[in-house]
Amino acid sequence: MNPLNSVRGAITTGFVVALVIALLIAPTGFMELGLARWFHILSGVMWIGLLWYFNVVQVPALAAAAADKGGPGGAGISKYVAPRALLWFRWAALATWLTGAWYLMRAGNFAGAFMLGTGGDAVNYYQLIIGIGAWFGTIMLFNVWVLIWPNQKKVLGLVPATDEEKAKARKTALYASRTNFVLSIPMLLCMGSATHGLPF
């Protein structure tokens, strides 16, 4: 059976290959490779990748489909693609936040990050930069679970809603998603710069 024939098989194969490499590189302790950081990056790629897909591809494509009076419309995307993408999106958001918290806690930086590095006598530069990213990520997680997902359920017809409620829900979900899209750009700058220095 070819593992590339299914998403589950491909994911499993990727994890097996990664674990084999990790055990070959650090046979005495896989934790040395930063298990928390690895899971954080994996879930973050899924979350932010889907966020960018929604904002750069799906929303504009659905708008074009709605404007094309003779075209096929966006029913297929709304019925089959969007619910599945939103499932991975919201759980990847939660996994990203939790693994980020785990990563910060294991190094004793969780409180300092959320205090933006001001917990000691001098400002902790790492905690300041990672903390800005963590705060953006926290706001984005809130938007996913409190604003985007409940409103998308109305838009997609997963919960009952009038046409007026759907229109309002569509607007709320769009603005929350666009806010997350905007925040993701400086958030990624902070996450990448905290240990590698600002790229300018």
Report how far residue 138's alpha carbon sits from residue 178's, in angstroms, rounded to the nearest whole number: 15
In this structure, what token pair is assigned to residue 41?
């990056």
Report how far residue 178's alpha carbon sits from residue 132's, in angstroms, rounded to the nearest whole number: 19
Is it the case that residue 134 has pLDDT exceeding 50?
yes
CA 131-183-192 angle, 5° bins? 50
Is it the case that residue 186 has pLDDT exceeding 60?
yes
Is it the case that residue 174 has pLDDT exceeding 90?
yes
Average pLDDT of every residue of the chain: 91
| The most confident of 29-33, 93-97, 103-107, by mean pLDDT | 93-97
The per-residue DSSP string of 98-130 comes to: HHHHHHHHHTT-HHHHHTTT-SSSS--HHHHHH
pLDDT score for 121 = 87
Contacts of 72 (CB under 8 A, 6+ apart): 65
Cβ atoms of 132 and 188 within 8 Å: the answer is: no
pTM, entire model: 0.89
Span 17-67, pLDDT tens digits = 988 887 787 756 556 557 788 899 999 999 999 999 999 999 999 999 989
157: left (phi over 0), alpha (psi -120 to 50) or beta: left
Cβ atoms of 195 and 188 within 8 Å: the answer is: no
Mean pLDDT of 5-12: 93
What are the φ and ψ backbone dihedral angles of 120, each rounded to 5 degrees?
Answer: -115, -165
pLDDT score for 30 = 57
